[in-house]
Chains A and B, each alone.
Chain A
Amino acid sequence: MALVTAAAARAVASPHTTGWEIVRRNYTVYKSSWLVFLTGFLEPVLYLFSIGIGVGRLVTGFEFNGQVVSYAAFVAPGMLAASAMNGAILDSTFGIFFKLRYDKVYEGVLATPMRTIDIARGELAWSLMRSAVYSAGFLVVMAAMGLVSSWWALLAWPATWLIGFAFAGAGMALTTFMKSWQDFEYIQLAIVPMFLFSATFFPITAFGGVLRWVVEATPLYRGVTLTRELTTGAVTVDSLVSVVYLVAMGLVGLTVASRRFDRLLLS
């Protein structure tokens, strides 16, 4: 009998929590607003039709890594990467801020055997799954429109996970420092310029000198370049730079977020 109670006590003391519970919780919450979920898929597709095709008729094709691609085929991977970023940022900033400061969801979660790292991991996993559904849909649209020219494009799907991971990690870490909704202006101030200038709508050659160097160092540019290399089949060893960059960014974000959760929720 003593053996049984000891085992039970140990099971409580070191539970196998992974963060999966957070994913299930979010799924339950989102189930009721499925239309919001569904329409989230539309935004990048509309941008692709408008800018890629509508404006594309006014623009000449671009040369990318030595091959000429149509404007729509050029913009499409940009939209793919940008929507992975937007989805990850939306979930990891507004969503988490609300749960942290208003809903007090995590205080409830921590009253269970779950730890702060489980929260960070669970939220990250959820936002990755959500954006993975969107980007899979977008890639199918791209393929159907003939905007994909290589089998490497299959790898563009996991590439969007990396983009989501990087931005969700960073967004979550930054959110833990936010004091009020007004602070989110700063996030917009970082996101919108990246969306517009990271070689999403026009090639990097539009910039010269230091400016080009700055753009090349932004995370969205790395994401856009990576997905564009994959969908056009212009993959080189240099593509790995983008991969390493995005993974590192996500890992740093995740670690910082988890530490900050410790300070905000456990002290």
Chain B
Amino acid sequence: MAILDAVPDWGMVARQRLYWTTVYKRTWKGSVVTSFVMPLLYVLAMGVLLGGFVKTGANLEGAPTYLAFVAPGLVAAQAMQTATGETTWPVMGSLKWHRTYYAMVATPLAVADVVAAQLVFVMFRLATVTGVFLLVMAPFGVFESVPGTLLAWPVLVLVGLSFSGVFFAYSATIRSESGFAIIYRLLVIPLFLFSGAFFPISNLSAPLEWLARLTPLWHGVDLTRMLVLGDVRPGLALVHLAYLVVLSLVGWWLAVWRLDKRMEV
């Protein structure tokens, strides 16, 4: 598949608006708890209560308190988790159980249009979930820089998008849902726990620290943290941004490629 084959016809993408708004209307209630209450609980437990036991003078990468350190980490991790949720089960469902994709491409829609519309929907979900999370944390006084926090919002959508394409491609490839349990335990949870969300990655041993530096979540966590703390090192920030943009584009292409292959038969 040529690179440009993944570029959708945006007019065709717009035509799927009704479908995705209907999906959202029917499912948003179920996501209220996971996108509002769970982050709040994590912030309270890890940030406020556990944070109360953190030693004074511990290395927190410039954050004044543990709460201020962990909050941007948790919201970036939430972006990853939302992206994972939206591009695993729903993709497999549309292929295997509801067969929505087959109905879609029986119309003038191309595979690239179908993928683009779904990824736009995922971005919308990411924007609402991370937006709510940022609002929930604002009263805790953990954001040092207001413009930085506003900039962090689209960055968080980008963090989620960088995972969405890759997971979409994976979900379009595997045949059985047990693949999700494995990827969740071998990839998502380790990323959540070791990508600098909960503790500075310099606390890891040197090889693991370097491994963490290669993960997309670390780039997302570090960029988000720099922005909300108002402590941006421009060179490093550009590296983070470039990494996330490239991964998003590659993932997007992979998603179109894998779905196209899967639906050829």
Contact = CB atoms under 8 A, between A and B. Distances in A.
A201 B33 contact: no
Per DSSP, chain A at the interface is helix
Interface string B183-199: 00110011001100011
Contact of B38 (A33, A58, A60, A192): A192
Interface string B35-46: 001100110111
B193 A50 contact: yes
B199 A36 contact: no
A58 B60 contact: yes
B58 A58 contact: yes
A57 B185 contact: no
Contact of A54 (B182, B189, B199): B199
A189 B203 contact: no
Interface stretch (A10-18, A41-49, A124-132, A160-168): A41-49
A189 B33 CA distance: 8
A201 B50 contact: yes
A236 interface: no
B84 to A, nearest CB: 15
Contacts of A55: 50, 198-199
B65 to A, nearest CB: 11
A42 B30 contact: no
Contacts of A197: 41, 45, 49
B41 A196 contact: yes
A35 B182 CA distance: 7
B199 A57 contact: yes
B55 A60 contact: yes
Interface in B161-192: 178, 181-182, 185-186, 189-190
A39 B53 contact: no
A149 interface: no
Interface string A53-72: 11101111010000000000
Nearest to B198: A55
B204 interface: yes
A43 B189 CA distance: 7
A58 B55 contact: yes
Contact of B46 (A49, A62, A201, A203): A201
Contacts of A202: 49-50, 52-53
A23 B225 CA distance: 49
Given A50-B194, A206-B49, 12 more contacts: A46-B189, A49-B194, A57-B203, A58-B55, A192-B38, A193-B41, A196-B44, A196-B46, A197-B45, A201-B45, A203-B53, A206-B52
Q: Which 8 A-B pairs have the closest CB atoms?
A: A50-B193, A196-B45, A54-B199, A39-B185, A58-B58, A206-B49, A36-B181, A55-B199
13 contacts: A39-B181, A39-B182, A42-B186, A49-B193, A50-B193, A55-B50, A57-B58, A57-B199, A196-B42, A197-B49, A201-B49, A201-B50, A202-B49
Interface of A: 33, 35-36, 39-40, 42-43, 46-47, 49-51, 53-55, 57-60, 62, 182, 185, 188-189, 192-193, 196-197, 201-203, 206
